[in-house]
Structure formats: structure tokens, C-alpha cells
Structure 1
Amino acid sequence: MTTTIYLVRHAAHDNVGGFLAGRTPGIRLGLEGRAQADRLGQRMRREPFAAVLSSPRERTQETAFAIASASGMVVETDERLDEIDFGDAWTGKTWEALNGDPTWNHWNAERAVARTAGGESMGEVQLRAVAALSDAAGRHADGAVVLVTHADVIKAIICHVLDLPLGHVHRFDINPASITPVVWGDWGAKLLWLNETVS
């Protein structure tokens, strides 16, 4: 039995790429992000799927709602799909401020072993995200499900699927409003394609 899992990164908020949003409350989709989410909803109507699961962050919930509502479904929230916990020291900081922090630079250079400042490691992110994916696959065997989450969470899952060290997360991109499907089964998992961006 196999399950197709569509890993979807949330659409863009107004300052995507401008600062580390992390788990900052109240970060919602901007005008372009809402348009991206609507396009995702229309794109995903071409794929049969049984459920839409989402991180609890507002930007993922809004993206997931656009996908679910376009196919007449509701959104289920799974806390294990949440953004990385970057801790109070980093959350909400600009990239300029972070780049001057040696602990931030260490974390980016040593993702396989380093821990965020007051938060979690990429290994912990991978464990919880893969568990969420495995549970979703078990509930929808021989079907498909959409998981709406965050770039680094998707990267952690892809590293697991491809058996890549977590230090290799910088070798590929996961853009806002992108789709990355994997097939999950008792035999293992495989990547179908990477980072399809809906135009």
C-alpha cells in the first residue's frame, strides 16, 4: 500500500524573506500570498486527495483553507507540522541582525547537530514531521493527502526520504506556494518531484 503526500509550503506573507517569521503570531498572507493560495487551490483540484493537514501558523492555515475549500474539504491542524521553534532570541529578527550572531551562523553551518537558540534541532523537527507524514499515510493508505507546512520542515522530510544528511538542506530550495509530492509506503519512500511553483 502506498500514499501520495503533497508537501505544500505556505504562500507568501508581505515580508517573506525579510525577517525570520518563525512562530511569530499574526503573520498572515499578503495580497500576493492570497492570490498564490487561490492558485494552489485550483492547481490541487487536478489531484485526487482525501484530506488537508496544516501547521497551526496563520499563513499555513490560510493556504490550507484555500486548497481545502477549492475541493470541498476542511482543514485539519497537526502541531507536528509547525514551523521550527527558533526561540525568543531569533524569532522576528532581521537577517542582518541574525547574520551577526555567531550561534545563528553555527546553526546554519551545522544543521545536522546544532540547536536553535532556545528552540529545537533539525533532527527533532525531522522526527516530528516524519511522524506526522507517516500517520497521515497510515490513515489514507492507497490514497493521497496534502500537508501544508514550512520550508525547513519540508526540507527535513525530503532529507529523510532521500536519505540525505540534514546538513544538505541548503542544496535545494522550497519556494512559497510550492508543491513537492512524495510517495510513502511500507517499502520506503520516494520523491516524485521537487518545488513545483504555481504561477
Structure 2
Amino acid sequence: MATLLLVRHGRSTANTSGVLAGRLPGIALDERGHAQAAALPDRLAGVPLAAAVSSPLQRCRETLRPLLAARPDLPLHTEERISECDYGDWSGRKLAELADEPLMQVVQGHASSAAFPGGESMRAMQARAVDAVRDWNARVEAEHGEDAVYVMCSHGDIIKSIVADALGMHLDLFQRIHVDPCSVTAIRYTRMRPFLVRLGDTGDFAALAPRESAEPNGAAEVGGGAGAP
């Protein structure tokens, strides 16, 4: 079956301001995010791509723009099911203030039971995203063969939930997975099982240098965080 390259969008203005953007309109890449997106064509230069699939949100479309410019024959498809989690009433709020919400403890430790007020549950988020991947795997394979590779640009929690599914992990464990802005995660799907062959690869190991923790007390960054400074 197909190989999927999951690209998290580049760093956004919401990431740097510590806001949980969700599906709010007008959330663009910041200066660093645009630089990350501009580097993507060279990072993927050695990979023949059959298709590009994008979340409908602006920050994902902006991330793919340089890649599409470098490969004008690469078809682009918009997929609603890989849009950001619908955080409902939490959308647009500062992550620092959300940390004190009782629901945040559920999001961190028991995600399968977490549902955002006025939004969706994390279980529903994962289900729609995984269904989208399965459908696109079948479509890409049917049109381009079982060795085809395609790219999908989405969001932190979406990508983490897809990776958890590929690894056979319960959703309650998905906060153990981390993907930086504009990182590439590769999953090779086969008839028997998926293989995770890259996870959150930015090609930059500077992020591993000691720094002030972005995950105090081991808490995951809901929405994915802004990456290394």
C-alpha cells in the first residue's frame, strides 16, 4: 500500500503567542514558519510524490505552497477530515489559562474520554483522521500503484492520533508522541501492518539541546506547541 508523509504545518502566529487556535480563521505562518515551509521542497527533493492532501486551514495551505510551486504537476486535494481538532469554546484561548481547567487533566491522561465544550471529542477527532488516511491510501494506491508516496499536511493532535493508530497505541497514550512544526512523519502502510519509519523529523537536532522545558511536569503541549526556540 501507499507510504504517507505527514507534514505538520509550519510555526504559526498562534504557536508563538501561546494560543490554542483550533479552527479559527486567519491563523497564518509566522516568519519562521514561512522559512520552514520554504525549506520543505529541498527536504523532500529525493521523494517522488503522487499527490498532496491538505487540511483546509490557512496555515497548512501556506506550508504546502512552496512545495507545490516547486512541483507544478503535483495535484493538491483538500480534505476536511484532517482539519484541526474542533476545540470549541477553548479555541482562541491562551494555553497558560487552559492549564488550570479540570478538563486539561483528562486531555493529558485520558484523551479517549475528553470532549471539548462546544466542540468535538478527541475520540471523534482520531476516528475521522484515520478514516481519511485509509481512504486516501486506497485512492493513491489505485491511481499510482502500491509503491506510491503522498504527502498530507495537517496539525499536531491530528498527526499524533494517526501515529498512535499506526502503532496500535490506545488514544490515552497519544500525548507521549511529539511532532514539531513542519516536521515530517512517514508511515508505510502494508497489508499486514503499518510501519512508522520517521517520526517528527525536522532534520535539525538542535531541538534536543538542553533548554527550559516546554512540558512542565511532563504535560503535553495541546495543539502541538511552537517547537524549539
Pairwise CA distance, 1:84:
0.2
State the TM-score, normalized to the length of structure 1.
Answer: 0.93
Paired position in structure 2 for 1:149: 154
Q: Report the Cα distance in structure 2 between the residues aligned to 1:186 and 1:127, rounded to whole angstroms.
A: 20
1:190 is paired with a residue whose SS is strand
Q: Report the Cα distance in structure 1 between the residues aligned to 2:58 and 2:71, rounded to whole angstroms.
A: 20
Paired position in structure 1 for 2:224: none
**Deviation per CA, 1:35-62, whole angstroms, max 9, x where unpaired?**
1001112211221111000001100011
Alignment of 1:7-156 (within 5 A): 7-16=6-15, 18-72=18-72, 73-87=74-88, 89-141=89-141, 142=146, 143-156=148-161
For 2:4, give the aligned amino acid.
Answer: I
Paired position in structure 1 for 2:173: 168
1:159 is paired with a residue whose SS is helix
State the TM-score, normalized to the length of structure 2.
Answer: 0.82
Q: Report the Cα distance in structure 1 between the residues aligned to 2:130 and 2:117, rounded to whole angstroms.
A: 23
**Deviation per CA, 1:135-156, whole angstroms, max 9, x where unpaired?**
1111221211100000110110
**Contact 2:109/2:173, CA 8 A, preserved across alignment:** no
**Contact 1:40/1:198, CA 8 A, preserved across alignment:** no
For 1:31, give the aligned amino acid.
Answer: E
Pairwise CA distance, 1:198:
4.2
Structure 2: runs of 5+ lacking an equivalent: 205-229
1:187 is paired with a residue whose SS is coil
Which 4+ residue blocks in structure 1 deviate beyond 4 angstroms?
A: none
Structure 1: runs of 5+ lacking an equivalent: none
Percent sequence identity is 35
**Contact 1:123/1:166, CA 8 A, preserved across alignment:** yes
Q: Report the Cα distance in structure 1 between the residues aligned to 2:198 and 2:107, rounded to whole angstroms.
A: 28
For 1:75, give the aligned amino acid.
Answer: L
Q: Report the Cα distance in structure 2 between the residues aligned to 1:106 and 1:129, rounded to whole angstroms.
A: 21
> CA RMSD, aligned part only?
1.4
For 2:104, give the aligned amino acid.
Answer: W
